[in-house]
Structure 1
Amino acid sequence: MAFDVLPGLGQPLRRLEDPRLLTGGGRFTTDVAAPGALHAVFVRSPHAHARILDVDASAARVLPGVVAVFTAAETASLGHNPAVTEIRDAAGARHIEPPRLPIPADRVRHVGEIVAMVVAETPHAARDGAEAVAVDYDPLPAVVRGDDALEPGAPLIHAQAPDNLCCLWQKGDAEAVDTAFAGAAQIARVSYRSPRILAGYLEIRAALAQWQDGRVTLTTPSQGVHLLHRVLCDHILHWPRDRLRVVTPDVGGGFGPKLPPYPEQALACFAAWELQRDVRWVQDRSEHHLADTHARDLVAEASLALDAEGHFLAVRVEGVANFGAFVSTVNPTIPTSGMAKVLGGLYHIPSMHIALRCAFSNTAPVDAVRGAGKPEALLLLERLVDVAARDAGRDPVALRRLNLLPRDAYPYRTALGYRYDSGDPAALLDAVLELGDAAGFAARRQASAARGLRRGRGVACHLHGSGGWGDETSMVEVQADGRITARTGTQSQGQGHATAYAQVLAAAFGVDAAQVEIIQGDSDRIPRGGGTGGSSSTIISGTTLSRAAAAAIEDGLPAAAEMLEAAAADVAWANGAYEIAGTDRRVTLAAVAERQGGLRGQADFEGTVETWPAGIAWCEVEVDPETGQVVLDRFAAAIDAGTVVNPVLLAGQLQGGWAAGIGQALSEDACYDAEGQMLAATLMDYAMPRAAELPDFRHAVLPVPSPNNALGIKGVGELPTNGAPAAVANAVADALEGAHVELPMTPQRVWHALRQV
């Protein structure tokens, strides 16, 4: 039967989950009651690189309250935590992936790596036990920067990876790029060392492993229970899948690092099974900084070739991506294809080539954080455009306009082979110039100068290629009382899934969204799901739930026909009810559900998760030349997110994403010293953006629906983070008359750059 889910979408509905969350009704992992649960504390390496000569737990094991101490000797049966994506070099060889065990037996490779687990009756007893574990280390030389790790004579991290090289990855036509550069009238060049950043989620990680009748239930914050369940059972614990259930309740932020399986989750399950007791672990903030996956950490040089009229001819990028001590879950494709996806920006660039050397170092593993490779690529590209404009005496906005893709160029295949589905960059540019009052910039600059301040403007064209896994099954049930329950395999970490999905189903069934309950996060209750990542949740679950709703409506058709005393062929679904075509005879969804004892529908995701949301940001800053302080005065953006399910949720995603990108640009730096000690192990030393430091955000929405899915949705969660760092960097450089400042652009770095102007 024909079924249209689009009417009713796009309404600014307030989040349905907020009353519960804001009145103390949230249920996060640490809220789950487990009377009598044991408490786990991990002994972590203070060294970035060292041989483990001995781990003596004898004193800890006899302390009051200590139940067990697990070391590499006791966990020798546990397996490797593998990456689930891969990259290959030009010869087709897969990236090198040394085993990552929950507790290493012979060597630690970054500060914070686990060497023992203490389980006790109370948290205090567990901490006392951890302090009593004596570890004899033989410290080794460490290397923390990726490019330093590839230098001859650098300390070797893994025997399996000669010269610390994980993979040499490249994409594009190097010969065509060389030819374009040889004939170029102008070449612009930039180089950047992108700092490491942390997720900084409000809810730090935790794990509760509960043993009952030969089965373990793991409750833990995650971005999808099924990946965690599969990797734990198949690769680390070596358990049959029916031995483990994974549950994720409410999650207080994910941003990427709650996607990978971690040693603590596996060890909590292992301990619960061995002791036949419940085991609880709760992370502290320093453990998040030391041991959760980091992001970015790229050093790269980029070049842009232009002809005499300013048309872009080619882009070349060469760099080193620091993978950290191990290959994390999806990291192989983050600084490689993640960058390559958006390297062409919103421009027509005939030739491109990117070559990256991926390196091991004595630092925490790197993986996806909001943006996942795209902010680094767009920073390079958008800085290149501004440098090219300044060098040639061109207006940076006019140079962009000259090279923007026209709407009729879509679908557009880039020189690196990616197919952009739809868009209208010129319309975005017009909108953001009006929204940011570009015409008034000169007057504002003059007013700033009168106060002794330097004002700069920055423009950044940006986009995102949504990703993730589409192995999703969604189920919808219309209860006999008319309530609707839906189960789906993506996982909300604050994005508002309970509202967005309810709106999709409300539009499908013609009911109020408050009648809809969304269930996520349970490997027993949901058959499969790829989880949430890559800005694709609404693409995956929204479209699949709409098809499951259609199946549920179809399920009620025979009963509706019977109630209407008509042939099923004469009954159609319209306006939220079953009706006989051409008459006023109709029966409601709730009545049919009551008659049949409930209606059920199920659907598997079909199609592609890929969409290409886009935006153009306008940023203005004021720089104090006496102190180097950067103040954001205004930030505006024009956004194409395809079909908008809920503009309130969209605004929230945009504002959070801009804040994250601004933090990367101005303050965040998860840096190490030369010996591998983390210099930002607490929030006293890691500067996240604060509300007082952010401007009022303004945005305009100019949707061009995606043809890649039935609802026309484009993933938006990472889009603003991709564009904000480049916009801010261009604005600061403009204020400094083109001077280069490394990220984060702290007052000290800006002050030093001013001395060079």
Structure 2
Amino acid sequence: MAFDVLPGLGQPLRRLEDPRLLTGGGQFTTDLQAHGALQAVFLRSPHAHARILRVDAAAARALPGVVAVFTAAETASLGHNPAVTEIHDAAGRRHAEPHRPPIPADRVRHVGEIVAMVVAETLAAAREAAEAVAVDYDPLPAVVRGDDALRPGAPRLHDLAPGNLVCDWTKGDAAAVEAAFARAAQVARISARSPRILAGYLETRAALAQWQEGQVVLTTPSQGVHLLHRILCDHVLGWPRDRLRVVTPDVGGGFGPKLPPYPEQALACFAAWELRRDVRWVQDRTEHHLADTHARDLVAEAALALDAEGHFLALKLEGVANFGAFVSTVAPTIPTGGMAKVLGGLYRIPAIHIALRGAFSNTAPVDAVRGAGKPEALVLLEGLVDVAAREGGWDPVHLRRRNLLRRGDYPFRTALGYRYDSGDPPALLDAVLRLGDAAGFEARRAASAAAGLRRGQGFACHLHGSGGWGDETSVVEVLADGRIEARTGTQSQGQGHATAYAQIIAARFGVAPERVRVIQGDSAGIPRGGGTGGSSSTIISGTTFVRAAEAAIEQGRGVAAELLEAAAADIAWRDGAYEIVGTDRRIGLAEVAARAGGLRGLADFDATVESWPAGIALCEVEVDPETGVVMLDRFACSFDAGVVVNPMLLEGQLHGGWAAGIGQALSEDALYDAEGQMLAATLMDYAMPRAADLPDFTLLSLPSPTPNNVLGIKGVGELPTNGAPAALANAVADALGGVRVELPMTPERVWRALRGM
């Protein structure tokens, strides 16, 4: 597919939505006025694993202001919240997926699982009543680590999952890999445990379910209303779809965990329908830590085979992915296909094999968080390259350069079957060496040593395979007054969709972006959409908006011909206006729309969501051997995001993604104790990265437009998060003389590693 760079793209336009958001005009779910709405509070299990013997809500129901208490007995009609992706083992068996109702009747399987819902006239009354609900538990042994859950004798979570196994999944050619290892001159090995992380968005989840005479309107922050609408109606509530409307206003961060449907949303809708009253719930921060989906949590061993000249021959990986207590919405394909997409990196590796077992445990379910299976894969791969370099006496830059794909190798089919679209990794490597002043590193290392500090340098060649759902219909309307409204099913959570989409549409129409209003987040007003996920929003909505705009232009051709007094066949669209071919007689879009009473174009997404952005990161750290503190001194990255729509938005995405990856590498750990109690249930104990933890970022775009869509754009939102942890892990290991530290590389862990503890 040839790409078409529209005039006006690539300009650094400030975000059109910011004046409204920065002056208090944001409309988030909790900003909505719903006078008289009932307040909901959820009673959650204090146990990681226990039988529910009795739930007695009589005392709670008798308290002043309490309207209802819903338990498993009252919600027994509600159905299962299913996964929408699936994996299979070598025999073709689908992953194990236990029934997951909004309120369990017999057993709780992680701390924070809902046991009852209290609905009252005030929040204070609801909280008091929740404390009055009496629950008798029979505590059971718990298991929190995935590899422990698969060991014989581990506590069993679900009857349909013997041994707590979700699925035994493999990919690649095991025989070819073993043959390559047998003839290898060198084998590098690495093992790693990737910590759990949380999304940590500014806006916690919320739900406002409003009863409106035969329909419930659910307003909730999400990453796409249509997925919620479909799963809630078809699978959980069992409602006809016209009974529920789902609306998402402004969203304060998503990163993945606002994509899945959650029990609270279903229960708020259920209560509103049953009580014929509006019901509101707002999540507190501890509920976010306990009940929203987590991510990562992988333990793995990997090995890389090389020949005597340092060429990569084969790669193999064995690991256990901790799925938590249930299989969440897209969880099956995160540690499997998500990892497999990038495990070959930017290298030519002829043979690769993955053996990955999924495990149930007494922890919150995991799902996609920015990167979705790829950061942990690249920590392993890039760590292997550094280990191979150190053990084999290779320079880590030269070893990478020897094995990097070249521009002429694209399109490139990996050993696991993925087709990389375009790229030039050697150019990225040359650029990042200049950006990061790699030539001056040894002098800086000597200066650090003179100050009693250890300096290390780390590289990470990284990429992302954009995903998501192309289930999209976009609508563009040119109103009679010349304004343009655009509707789409992707959902912004702060990425700047209103600006990026306006630039694309404006470029196609030849108008100012300020004339375009982008509308998202309403299942009643937008035909369909797969939502936002997998770094594919601009690919999906941007390319579809172009075709919808073209359809609107075509609709106006006849009206333009009438106004210009010419045959429609003689009318062409050029430079933002209709003109009679071969003349200077022209008429603008607004005039045609005014005469036509408006123009409307509609298009379905018909391309592929796949693209392969790439980057090479270089970072330097200083380690204080007395305290173990790691200071990130510099961070440079050259990257290929294809055609750039707006460099300011792109830079913001990169900064945010690097910050997320740095937090994962240095501080974030959603840690449980052995009994399944979360030790990071508040921000006092879960260490998000702060401004002081971050260096200035130096970046350079070297675009290789993708042939996979008409705009040549690649999805970039997760690319930086994929590379940052690997670069940091390698830099710290270099500072410690090759000793690798488990992530997050906290001062205590680094201090202990320095002392061989």
Corresponding residue number in structure 2 for 1:222: 222
Q: Shift in Å at residue 581 of structure 1?
A: 1.4
Q: Is the 8 A contact 2:4 2:711 kept in 1?
A: no
CA-to-aligned-CA distance 1:105-145 (integer Å, 9 cap, x gap): 00000000000000000000000010000000000000000
Q: Is the 8 A contact 1:3 1:550 kept in 2?
A: no
TM norm structure 1: 0.99
Q: Shift in Å at residue 626 of structure 1?
A: 0.3
Q: Is the 8 A contact 1:662 1:689 kept in 2?
A: yes
Q: Is the 8 A contact 1:5 1:508 kept in 2?
A: no
Distance across 1 between alignment mates of 2:551 and 2:711: 17
Verify: 1:600 aligned to 2:620, yes or no: no
Distance across 1 between alignment mates of 2:617 and 2:582: 51
CA-to-aligned-CA distance 1:539-566 (integer Å, 9 cap, x gap): 0000000000000000000000111111
Q: Shift in Å at residue 693 of structure 1?
A: 1.0
Corresponding residue number in structure 2 for 1:97: 97
Q: Shift in Å at residue 92 of structure 1?
A: 0.4
> Which stretches in structure 1 are left out of the alignment for 5+ residues?
none
Corresponding residue number in structure 2 for 1:684: 684
Verify: 1:589 aligned to 2:585, yes or no: no
Distance across 2 between alignment mates of 1:319 and 1:4: 42
- Give the percent of matched residue pairs that are identical in Structure 1 and Structure 2: 82
- Which one-letter code corresponds to 2:522 in the other structure? D
Corresponding residue number in structure 1 for 2:566: 566
CA-to-aligned-CA distance 1:607-650 (integer Å, 9 cap, x gap): 11000000000000000000000000000000100010000000
Q: Shift in Å at residue 3 of structure 1?
A: 12
Distance across 2 between alignment mates of 1:127 and 1:718: 39
Verify: 1:11 aligned to 2:11, yes or no: yes
Distance across 1 between alignment mates of 2:5 and 2:255: 29
- Which one-letter code corresponds to 1:399 in the other structure? L
**SS of 1:217 mapped into structure 2:** strand
Corresponding residue number in structure 2 for 1:645: 645
Corresponding residue number in structure 2 for 1:157: 157
Q: Is the 8 A contact 2:89 2:168 kept in 1?
A: yes
Corresponding residue number in structure 2 for 1:264: 264
CA-to-aligned-CA distance 1:221-242 (integer Å, 9 cap, x gap): 0000000000000000000000
Distance across 2 between alignment mates of 1:545 and 1:718: 23
Corresponding residue number in structure 2 for 1:556: 556
> Which stretches in structure 2 are left out of the alignment for 5+ residues?
none
Corresponding residue number in structure 2 for 1:171: 171
Distance across 1 between alignment mates of 2:81 and 2:650: 35
Distance across 2 between alignment mates of 1:213 and 1:665: 51
Q: Shift in Å at residue 756 of structure 1?
A: 2.2
Q: Is the 8 A contact 1:196 1:669 kept in 2?
A: yes
Distance across 2 between alignment mates of 1:206 and 1:607: 34
CA-to-aligned-CA distance 1:411-442 (integer Å, 9 cap, x gap): 00000000000000000000000000000001
Q: Is the 8 A contact 1:5 1:546 kept in 2?
A: no
Q: Is the 8 A contact 1:4 1:508 kept in 2?
A: no
Q: Is the 8 A contact 1:5 1:504 kept in 2?
A: no
TM norm structure 2: 0.99
Verify: 1:578 aligned to 2:578, yes or no: yes
CA-to-aligned-CA distance 1:239-272 (integer Å, 9 cap, x gap): 0000000000000000000000000000000000
Alignment of 1:122-521 (within 5 A): 122-521=122-521
**SS of 2:315 mapped into structure 1:** strand
Q: Shift in Å at residue 312 of structure 1?
A: 0.2
**SS of 1:335 mapped into structure 2:** helix
**SS of 1:40 mapped into structure 2:** strand
Distance across 2 between alignment mates of 1:5 and 1:561: 28
Corresponding residue number in structure 2 for 1:731: 731
Distance across 1 between alignment mates of 2:287 and 2:639: 37
CA-to-aligned-CA distance 1:645-676 (integer Å, 9 cap, x gap): 00000000000000000000000000000000
Q: Which aligned segments of 4 or more residues in structure 1 are displaced greater than 4 angstroms?
A: 2-5
Distance across 1 between alignment mates of 2:3 and 2:409: 31
Q: Is the 8 A contact 1:5 1:507 kept in 2?
A: no
Distance across 2 between alignment mates of 1:315 and 1:5: 38
- Which one-letter code corresponds to 1:742 in the other structure? E
Q: May I ask how many residue pairs the two structures share in their alignment?
A: 756
- Which one-letter code corresponds to 2:395 in the other structure? D
CA-to-aligned-CA distance 1:62-119 (integer Å, 9 cap, x gap): 1010000000000000000000000000000000000001000000000000000000
CA-to-aligned-CA distance 1:2-49 (integer Å, 9 cap, x gap): 996611100000000000000000000001110000000000000000
- Which one-letter code corresponds to 2:139 in the other structure? P
Corresponding residue number in structure 1 for 2:25: 25
- Which one-letter code corresponds to 1:652 in the other structure? G
494 and 149 in structure 1: CA distance in 2 versus 1, 3 angstrom threshold: same
Q: CA RMSD in A?
A: 0.9
Distance across 1 between alignment mates of 2:397 and 2:689: 28
Corresponding residue number in structure 2 for 1:695: 695
Verify: 1:114 aligned to 2:109, yes or no: no
CA-to-aligned-CA distance 1:503-532 (integer Å, 9 cap, x gap): 001100000000000000000000100000
Distance across 1 between alignment mates of 2:33 and 2:522: 17
Q: Is the 8 A contact 1:255 1:370 kept in 2?
A: yes
Distance across 1 between alignment mates of 2:478 and 2:151: 63
4 and 461 in structure 1: CA distance in 2 versus 1, 3 angstrom threshold: closer
Verify: 1:621 aligned to 2:621, yes or no: yes
Q: Is the 8 A contact 2:3 2:711 kept in 1?
A: no
